Each structure stands twice: as C-alpha cells, then as structure tokens.
Structure 1
Amino acid sequence: MIIDGHAHTFGDFAYSERLIPLMNKLGVDKVVLCPGSADPDYVFELPEASYKETAKIHYFHILANIFYIRQHGKNIDNIDNEFVYSLVKEQPTRLLQYYWINPSNPELITKLEQDYKKMSFNGIKLHQCLNKFSNDDESMKEISLFAEEKNLPIFIHLYNFRESRKFVKLAREHPKTNYTVAHLMGMESIARHGKDLKNVYFDISTYFIISDKRIKYVMKKFGEDKVLFGTDSPLGKDNLENNLYKIKSMELTEKQKGKILGENLSKLLNL
C-alpha cells in the first residue's frame, strides 16, 4: 500500500477527477489532504529539478515569507476544511482528511467537536508558521486530549528549535496521543531530547529539501516504523512522482520501503 500522508487541496489536488487518475497512474492507494490555497487553481511554480540549488532557493523564499507572517503576528485564517471534506466525500476509499485548526481559536474544542461529528476526519493539522501559537499553550493540551479521545494523530509543522523542545515536553506529557512532525523540522533536537518517545512520527516531505542521509538518520534514531511518506503536493512539478522515485531508489530493503511508503501510516490511522 502506498499512502501520501501530506498533500494540499489546490492545483490538480483540488479536483478528484484529476487527482484520482494521477494516483492510479503512479500506483498510489490513498492521499491525505488538508487545506491549501484559498484559490484551488493556484499552483506554486517551483523548478522542475530535484536537487538544483535554484529549487532550494525558491523553496526557502517561500519559507522566508512564512517566517515574516509568523514574526508579524499574522494568522492564516482562510482555512477551508469544508472543501477538503467535499473531496473526501467524492472519493471516500481513496482520500483522507486532516483537519487544520488554529490553536488560538477561542472556540477551539467546540469547533473540533462539531466538525468531527460531521466530517469524521482522520487527523488534526497544526502549522506554527502560519498560525501563531506555542507548544506549551493550554490549547495544545486541550487538542492533545481531544486527539487522544478520538484516536487521531496530530500533524504539526514546528516553527523553531525552541518550539521543538516544547514539543518534546508536550509529547511526553501526552503519551497516548500520536504526533507527526512535518518535514523532519526540529528532528535533531527531538532526537537529542526525546529519542525515547514512542508516540512521535516523522513526515519526510519533500524530496528536494530532505536528503537520503536525514531519512536514514531518523530511521536509525527512532526506527523505520516511525517514518511516514509524504510529498507536500502539489508544491513542485511532478511532486508525487518525484517523491515516490526518491524512496524507491534509496538503498533500503523492500520491507523498509513498504513501511515508509504506506504501511506505517496505515497502522497509525487504523485503516
């Protein structure tokens, strides 16, 4: 089984009639979707090459813009979970939903409860660069308890190393809640301070910013069962295809590749 555990609803990924044929062509069984651009037709024009310096520069330009948003205290609030839900309803056997919420929302738990009752989403998405919050906020404890109760993983994009330390403390305080760290952000810090944690998983998107060396490092530190395939699609030309090629061409056993490409996430989501 192949599962893309990290994708967004814009470009081709905003239309099931485009996405499903692409999945079929590449042999992908399921894709986890979370909100993307407010405009579903918007596409980031990242360079084609996988490891060209220009690709990295362009990507870091995007990250710099995110850093600016965070530093100036702005929040991205046009989060369209309803749109993701509409796509999942169209293809319930192929598409999964991670529900994106801003932890600073004063109606946090009420909204989670109401929307989970309606959508039965598969996980919770948090982004510290686009929503300003800290991992030691009371709201993070509330979200963690909600996730534990509903048996949902929390997928989080960490902001910096300080927040990764706070994240380790949070994960330690909530051992029955599973967390996935996006893009291996803060992974080295987590390995240093929380390598004993059994409830932390790692997303390895995307192919032009995550090296083979770092993937093997996280496997060594946390085990091959904790590594999850993700692409951050459609960020990048032919991103799903290129991410698949990266994992399939790595010097790993077929068993290890199978776990990373889908078996680990299938178990985490109880599919």
Structure 2
Amino acid sequence: YKRQLLNALQILDLYFRMKRNPDIEYTPKTFIFGAKAAPGYFRAKAIIKFINEVARLINEDPEVNSRLQVVFVENYNVSYGEKLFPAADVSEQISTAGKEASGTGNMKFMMNGAVTIGTLDGANVEIFREAGLENNYLFGAKTEELAEIFDSYNPVEYYMKDPDIKKAVDFLMDEKLDDDGTYMLLEIYKSLIDPHPGHKADRYFVLKDFESYKKAQQQIGKDYTDRRGWARKCLINIANCGKFSSDRTIRDYAEGIWKI
C-alpha cells in the first residue's frame, strides 16, 4: 500500500521520455529507496528486485545517468535514516489514500526541510494542514473516491488509454530486466492488470493515480529551479513542524488524558 511500485514506474516512464528526447528540459534528480521485505513476502521482494533492475538500467546508461540516478539502500535502518532525512529535498509519501495509519518518517523529513509529495493519507493530512498545500505536493484520489469505485475499478482501462502507462507496465516483461528466473516481475505485471478469482487487479490503484503523480513530479522539477521559492517552501515546512514534536505530544497527553 505504500506504493513504491508507483514511484518506480514513474521513474521508468521518465527514463523513456529522456531516451526519446535527449534534449528534454529536465531538473536532474536522484531517487533514493530504502526497504526490507519479510522472508515470505514475495510481492515485496519482487518490487525490491524491480527497483534494483530499474536502477541498474538507468545508472549504466551514459545517455541519462548524468541527470537521473536511482539508489537502493540495502538493509535500511535508523542509522541510514539519520543521514537521509537531512539530505532529502523531497519526501515521497505516496501510499494509497486510506491505507496508511500514520508513520513518523514524513514528520522527520518535514523537520529537516524536505517538501512532501503525497496523497491525502496518514499524517500527510496534518503536514499539508500545518505547512500548507502551496508548500507541498498533493496528488491522487481521495479515500472517499476510492471507496466509491472499488468494486467497479478496472485498471486495464488506464493501461489501454495511456500509452506511457502501457509502456512502463509492459517493460516489466522486457528482457532488459532480469529477475533471475524467479518470475517475480511477471507476478507484478499480473498483479496490475490481470484479475482472476480471489485476486483484484491493482488493488492499490497504482495505475489510477499514475498520471496525477507524474504531473506532481513534473511540477516539483519546475519549482526546484526557483531556488528562492524552493527555500521558502523548505523553511515554512520547518517552521510549522512543531505540532509533531514529542514535547507537544507529551503535553497534550498530560493535560488531556492523564489530567496532570
């Protein structure tokens, strides 16, 4: 539900656009992923494999790797977080609306000045409220909309309608990506567009939110070139992160719950 698959597909789409048009106006980016998968969680392992294959494809391509890089941090932990939170310009909080209870990673990024690209989900709601939508990047369908279309949603419609989505999804089956004979990438492909009894295709609405996410990423690239404007967004996020401090939380518990 955290949908880093959406992130990886968007990066792949960006790669294709850069290959088609080497002179495309583009703000250089490095996408950093960090994750672990439980031993028996095949889908999560497959997504990690996909991200690493996309990283290999892009990082080894001299036509694009001076402007686009993908990094996967192995064995991500708190020590890595201490380095990544202060370094990041953008915080990717792209879970399916209604699926994220509330993490704290987005708060740590905010406190260190990263702007948030995210759905209206979890603590993103409060970040957008505190720092303002004009200083962050909201995309995607809302919880209520997804609930309304859950039974009727057909990802194949998006797949067939948008050639960029189709190309990115189809590339899961391309021989340029190597899953070591595990059929992991085939499993991801089927999970997106091949429903069968007991399995709903694209249950996390990756293809539905793809275009909205892509536009938000493009806007980030444009806004980043305005260094003064970008600095303002960062500073406003830092200045409004106080609500997420442990001091405020403990005070509220003491006054509202413990009555001390």
TM-score, normalised relative to structure 2: 0.31
Q: Which has the higher strand share?
A: 1
Higher helix share: 2
What TM-score, normalized by structure 1, do the two folds share?
Answer: 0.30
